Amino acid sequence: MTFRSLSLLLFSFLVLAGASPGAIDFKTQVLPILESHCFKCHGEKKQKGDLRLDTLSVDLLKDRAAAETWHDVKDALNLADMPPEKEEPLTRAELKILTGWINEKIESVIEAQKSTGGRVVLRRLNRLEYQNTMTDLLGIEMDYSKNFPPEALSEDGFRNNGSTLQMSDLQLEYYLEAARKGLAKAIVSGPKPETYNLEFEKTVKDKNRGSQILDKDQQFIVKLKDYPEEGEVLLRAKVRAKFAEGRGYPQLRGAIGYRADTQAPRLFFDPIDVTSEDWQIFEMRGRIENFPLPSKTQSKFPGLLIWLDNAYAEGRDKPLKARGRGKKQKKNEGPLTYPQIEVASLEFTGPVFDQWPPSHHTKILFLSKAKGLAYADSVLKHFMSKAFRRPVTADEVSPYSNFFQAARPKMASFEEAIRETLAMVLISPDFLYLVEPSGASKRPTTDWELASRLSYFLWSTMPDSQLFGLARDGKLSDPKVLRQQVDRMINDKRSWNLVEQFSDQWLDVGAIQRVAINPNYYPKFDEALKTSMRGETIHFFGEIFYKNLSALTILDSDFTMLDEPLAKHYGLTGPKGSTFERVSLKPTDHRGGVLTHGSILLGNSTGEDSHPVKRAVWIRERLLDDPPADPPPDVPNLDTTNPDFAKLSVRDQLAEHRKEVSCNDCHRGIDPWGIPLENFGADGLWRDQILRKKTKGKGMTKLPVLPAATLPDGSEVIGIATLKKYLIEEKDEQFAKALTSKLFTYALGRRLELVDKKALRDLTTKFIGDGYRIKNLIHLVVASESFQSK
C-alpha cells in the first residue's frame, strides 16, 4: 500500500520499520528467535490458543491458511500482545527480524494475488473518457457525467486503473439516463424550428444592480418572455474594456437561467478576457436545455434571465453580500481602480443549427435508399461500429435489431424507436469497457484495439476517423505509421487531455482542494487562487511536453507559467489576463521547478503552516517513486509532557521526535526531504519567519526558518536551491525512472508489477539516453510489447 493515508503525521511514529531491503533468512535468522521465545507455548508440547508455530508452513505463497496465521502472529507482535508480560520480551532487533520476515512474505502473497500477470485489465471508461467519448460520438456538447458517482484514485494515484474502476447499478442507471438525454438531442424530429433573434441595448434595472458598466457588483441583465426551450443558442455581446492601472483584463462572463421553485441557480459560461478598449463582439454558445429554465406555469413567471457580469479575479469567489450588494455606483472620479467592462448590446439567437436536420442528426440517420427494417439495421451497424470502436457482425446487430422491431410499434415515431435502440447500444459492455478478448497466453493487440489504446492514452476519448481508417486497412501497427500517428495525435489539441490528466494525477495537484487555508494566518488569500495554482502546474508540464524540453526542467527551471492572479500572488509581473503565459524567473524570485509551485506547497501543508512530512512524502512518492512504508497499527503518540514542545518550530519538533529511537528508523528517511522547503508557507510564498499561534493568550509568535537538513545518504542541503541541485545531480536517474514508471502505468491503465521491471528499466535507459524528452518517451511506451499485447 502506498503512503497515502498520511498516517505518518507529525506525531505518530513507526515503532517497527517495514521490511529492510535485504531478504531475511528464515533458518538462520527467524527460526532461532521463534525457538527461544515462542515454541514453548506454541510448539510440540503446548498449543496455547490452538496455535502451533513449529509446524506452520513457511511457504506462504502455497499455503494461504498459513499466511493468514502468520498475519495474526505479526499483529500480536505489533500490538505487543505477545510475548505475554510474564515472559521475556523480544529485543528490538528480534522484533524487527520477525515482523520484517512476515511482512516480506505477506507482501509477496499480496503481490501474487493482485497480479494481472502483466496484462492489461478489462477497464471501463472513466468519467472523463466517457464524457469525451459521448461528445465525440453524438456530436452534442453536454454534461453527460454530471450525476455519476465520484471515482476513486488507484493506489498509485491514477483515475484510469481498470481494477479500481468499479461498476454498480447506480452507475449503469446514470449511463442509461445520459444516453437517452444525449440521443434525444442528437436525433431531432419534426420540422425546422423557428429561430428567435432578439437584441437588447439596455439593461433591466434590478435593485440598482443592472448597469451598462460592469464593475465588481453590477450586471447587465435582460429578460426574455418568449424563448426556445431546446437547441443550441448563441449570445453575442458587444463590449469594451476600461483598464485600471496595475490591474489585469476585466473578464466578461455570461449566465443563463434561474429556477425559483427548485432554487436551481443560474449557470455560467466560462469567463472571457476583454483585452481591448475598442468595441469587440464576444460569442458564447450553449444548449439552452442545459440551463435551469424557469417553469412557465409558475405563478410569477419571471421570464428567462440572461446576465453579463465582470468576473475579474479579485474577490470573484466571495459571496455577493460581502461585496456590498446593491450599492450605488460611485461617480467616476479620477483613475479607475478596478477594470471595467462597458456593454453596448447583447444579442440572443436560438436555436442555431448548421442545417436541418442538423449534421449530428444526419451522421446517425444518414440518407439512404433503404427503407424500414433494412434502414434501421444499417443505421445500427454504422452506429455500433463507431460506439464499439471496431467492426460489428450481423450476428451482433441482431439483438439490437430485435429490440427495435419490438419497440417500433409501441413508439410514436421511427426516431423515438431508434433513439431507444441506440441507448441500448450505449449501455452495452462493448461500449462502456475497452473489451479485449483473450485466452491463456498473451497475444498482440489487433489494430482496432491499438487504435483505442492510443486514443484513450493520448486523448482520453475514442479514436477519430483517421485512426479507424488505418485500423481498417491493417496499417496502424506498422511501426512507421504508428510513429506518424503518435506525432499527429500529440500535435492535435485533444492531447491536452493527456497533459492535464497525467500531470494532475501524477503530481496529485488535486491535493489543494483538500486543504483549507486558515484566514487568520493568510487573511489575503483568495480561494480562487487554487484554480490558478492548478493551472500553473498543468501548463508548466504542458510547456515542457510540447516544447520537448528535458524533463529535468520539472525539477528546476528558469521560467514558470502564470496567469494574472497568481503572478500577483507571487509578486511577479507579466500576465494580464486569465491565459497562462511563460514568465521568466530570476534566482532572487526563489521560483522555478515544480517544488516551488503553489499547488504542491499548499496541497502539502496544513493550511496554516508548511507540513514538512507531507511535503517529504510527496517528493519520495511522486518524484522518486519510493514511498515510505505505512505505519503499523496503533502507532504510539509522542510523549508530549515537554511543555515547550508546542513552542518549537516544526523542524525542531521533528528533530525532537527523531531522538526517539523507534521513530528515527523511518523518519530520518522522510523528514529531511521536507525541511529544505520550510521557506515556503502554506500559501506557497517565500518567508523568513514562521508564524505560530501562541498556545496561551492571543497573538502570534514568530520562529525563524531553518531549512538545513541531512539527507539519508549523508548529503547536507540548505533550502530549496541546494535541494533542487541535489535532485538534478544525484537523483536524476531515479527521477527519470519515477516519471517513466508513472507514465507507463497511466498508458497501460494498470499497476506495474515485477514482470514489468525489465521493460521499465529499458524504457528508463532509453529515456535518459534521449535527453529526458517526454514526447520520445511516449513513442517508446507505445512501441513497447506491453502496450501492444493483450
Partner 1 sequence: MSRKSWHLPRRTFLQGFGASLALPFLECMGADTKTLARPKRFCGIYFPYGVSLPKKKNEEAKWQWFPNTVGRDFQFNESLKCLESLRKHVSILGGLSHPNGRKIGGHDTADIFLTAAELKGGQLKNSVSLDQLLAAKLGDETRFRSLSLSVDGGVGEATRSSTLSFSRSGQPVPALHNPRLVYNRLFGKEDRTLAAKRQELENSDHMLDLVLEHSKSVRRKLGKQDQEKFDEYLQSVRQIEQRVERSEKWLEIPKPEVDIAGLHLDADDKTPGELIKTMFDLMFLAIQTDSTRFLTYQMGNMNGATSVATKFPSLLGFGKSQHSLAHGWNKPGGAEALGKWDRFRAEQLAYFLQRLQDTPENDGTLLDQTMVLYGSSNSTTHNNTNYPLVLAGGDRLGLNHGGYHRFGSDVPLSNLFVTMMNRLGAPAAKFVDSTGEMTELVS
Q: Which of residues 28-67 bind partner 1 (CB under 8 A)?
A: 64
Q: In the bound complex, what is the minimum distance in angstroms from residue 705's beta carbon to partner 1?
A: 21
Cβ count within 10 A of residue 32: 12
The three state secondary structure string of 287-300 is EHHHCCCCCCCCCC
Number of residues that bind partner 1 (CB under 8 A): 100
Quote the Cα angle for 751-755-756, to 5°.
60
Nearer to partner 1, 634 or 762 (CB): 634
Q: In the bound complex, what is the minimum distance in angstroms from residue 69's beta carbon to partner 1?
A: 12
3-state secondary structure of 279: coil
The C-alpha atoms of residue 499 and residue 561 are separated, in whole angstroms, by 14
Q: In the bound complex, what is the minimum distance in angstroms from residue 103's beta carbon to partner 1?
A: 13
* Amino acid sitting at position 643: P
> Which of 16, 515, 595, 654 lies at the binding interface for partner 1 (CB under 8 A)?
515
Q: Choose the stretch contacting partner 1; rule: CB under 8 A; options: 211-219, 419-427, 450-458, 759-767.
A: 419-427
Nearer to partner 1, 309 or 621 (CB): 621
> Which of 256, 635, 654, 727 lies at the binding interface for partner 1 (CB under 8 A)?
635
Phi, psi dihedral angles at 60 (to 5 degrees) = -65, -25
Q: Choose the stretch contacting partner 1; rule: CB under 8 A; options: 281-289, 459-467, 509-517, 761-769.
A: 509-517
Nearer to partner 1, 598 or 632 (CB): 632
Residue ranges in 348-407 that form contacts with partner 1 under rule CB under 8 A? 396, 399-400, 402-403, 406-407
Q: In the bound complex, what is the minimum distance in angstroms from residue 334's beta carbon to partner 1?
A: 36
3-state secondary structure of 278: coil
DSSP structural state of residue 12: B
- Strand-strand pairing, 219-224 and 213-214: unpaired
The C-alpha atoms of residue 578 and residue 272 are separated, in whole angstroms, by 8
Contacts of 476 (CB under 8 A, 6+ apart): 447, 450, 451, 467, 470, 482, 485
Instruction: Tell me if 127 sits within 8 A of 161, measured CB to CB.
Output: no
Residue ranges in 9-28 that form contacts with partner 1 under rule CB under 8 A? 9-12
Q: What share of the chain is helix, strand, coil (3-state, %, to 5)?
A: 40, 15, 45
DSSP structural state of residue 776: H
Q: In the bound complex, what is the minimum distance in angstroms from residue 177's beta carbon to partner 1?
A: 10
Nearer to partner 1, 342 or 508 (CB): 508
Q: In the bound complex, what is the minimum distance in angstroms from residue 407's beta carbon to partner 1?
A: 6
Residue ranges in 674-703 that form contacts with partner 1 under rule CB under 8 A? 695
3-state secondary structure of 610: strand
> Which of 69, 275, 329, 518 lies at the binding interface for partner 1 (CB under 8 A)?
518
Residue ranges in 587-606 that form contacts with partner 1 under rule CB under 8 A? 606
> Which of 4, 242, 287, 472 lies at the binding interface for partner 1 (CB under 8 A)?
4
DSSP structural state of residue 346: E
DSSP structural state of residue 684: S
Residue ranges in 611-630 that form contacts with partner 1 under rule CB under 8 A? 630
Strand partners, 349: 197, 234
Contacts of 678 (CB under 8 A, 6+ apart): 610, 612, 650, 651, 690, 705, 706, 707
Q: Give the ranges where 409-548 is alpha helix by DSSP (H).
A: 414-425, 429-432, 447-458, 465-472, 479-491, 496-506, 529-546
Residue ranges in 523-562 that form contacts with partner 1 under rule CB under 8 A? 527
Quote the Cα angle for 21-25-30, to 5°.
110
Q: In the bound complex, what is the minimum distance in angstroms from residue 110's beta carbon to partner 1?
A: 4
Largest interatomic CA distance in the chain: 98
Nearer to partner 1, 1 or 754 (CB): 1
Q: In the bound complex, what is the minimum distance in angstroms from residue 9's beta carbon to partner 1?
A: 5
The C-alpha atoms of residue 619 and residue 26 are separated, in whole angstroms, by 34
Q: In the bound complex, what is the minimum distance in angstroms from residue 341's beta carbon to partner 1?
A: 27
* Amino acid sitting at position 132: N
Nearer to partner 1, 370 or 516 (CB): 516
Hey, what's the cell of 143? 454534461
Is residue 255 within a helix (H) or strand (E), and if so which, with residue range?
Answer: strand 251-256
Contacts of 644 (CB under 8 A, 6+ apart): none
Q: In the bound complex, what is the minimum distance in angstroms from residue 756's beta carbon to partner 1?
A: 16
Residue ranges in 87-126 that form contacts with partner 1 under rule CB under 8 A? 109-114, 116-117, 119, 121-124
Nearer to partner 1, 331 or 514 (CB): 514
Q: In the bound complex, what is the minimum distance in angstroms from residue 286's beta carbon to partner 1?
A: 19
> Which of 352, 411, 624, 728 lies at the binding interface for partner 1 (CB under 8 A)?
411
Residue ranges in 68-87 that form contacts with partner 1 under rule CB under 8 A? 68, 71-72, 75, 79
Nearer to partner 1, 117 or 335 (CB): 117
Q: In the bound complex, what is the minimum distance in angstroms from residue 428's beta carbon to partner 1?
A: 6
Rounded to the nearest 10°, the torsion over CA 81, 86, 90, 91 is: 130
Strand partners, 11: none
Nearer to partner 1, 157 or 542 (CB): 157
The C-alpha atoms of residue 666 and residue 613 are separated, in whole angstroms, by 11
Q: Choose the stretch contacting partner 1; rule: CB under 8 A; options: 207-215, 636-644, 673-681, 717-725.
A: 636-644
Nearer to partner 1, 438 or 550 (CB): 438
Q: In the bound complex, what is the minimum distance in angstroms from residue 176's beta carbon to partner 1?
A: 7
Hey, what's the cell of 570? 507571487
Q: Residue 155: left if φ>0, alpha if ψ -120 to 50, beta else—which one?
A: alpha
Residue ranges in 421-440 that form contacts with partner 1 under rule CB under 8 A? 423-424, 427-430, 432-433, 435-440
The C-alpha atoms of residue 265 and residue 292 are separated, in whole angstroms, by 7
Q: In the bound complex, what is the minimum distance in angstroms from residue 243's beta carbon to partner 1?
A: 31
Is residue 349 within a helix (H) or strand (E), and if so which, with residue range?
Answer: strand 340-350
Nearer to partner 1, 428 or 734 (CB): 428
Q: Choose the stretch contacting partner 1; rule: CB under 8 A; options: 188-196, 277-285, 540-548, 635-643.
A: 635-643
Q: How many residues does the chain have?
A: 790
Nearer to partner 1, 282 or 433 (CB): 433
Residue ranges in 722-781 that form contacts with partner 1 under rule CB under 8 A? none
Residue ranges in 213-272 that form contacts with partner 1 under rule CB under 8 A? 262-265
Contacts of 28 (CB under 8 A, 6+ apart): none
Nearer to partner 1, 163 or 550 (CB): 163
**Residue in 369, 390, 384, 253 with CA at minimum distance from that of residue 308:** 253
Nearer to partner 1, 255 or 774 (CB): 255
The C-alpha atoms of residue 780 and residue 764 are separated, in whole angstroms, by 10
Nearer to partner 1, 126 or 485 (CB): 126
> Which of 332, 359, 513, 689 lies at the binding interface for partner 1 (CB under 8 A)?
513
Nearer to partner 1, 139 or 627 (CB): 627
Nearer to partner 1, 500 or 508 (CB): 508
Is 581 among the residues that bind partner 1 (CB under 8 A)? Answer: no
Instruction: Tell me if 518 sits within 8 A of 610, measured CB to CB.
Output: no
Q: Residue 768: left if φ>0, alpha if ψ -120 to 50, beta else—which one?
A: alpha
Residue ranges in 142-201 that form contacts with partner 1 under rule CB under 8 A? 147, 149-155, 162-164, 166-173, 176, 180
The C-alpha atoms of residue 691 and residue 705 are separated, in whole angstroms, by 10
Nearer to partner 1, 147 or 701 (CB): 147
> Which of 637, 698, 699, 769 lies at the binding interface for partner 1 (CB under 8 A)?
637
Q: In the bound complex, what is the minimum distance in angstroms from residue 514's beta carbon to partner 1?
A: 5
Q: In the bound complex, what is the minimum distance in angstroms from residue 399's beta carbon to partner 1?
A: 5
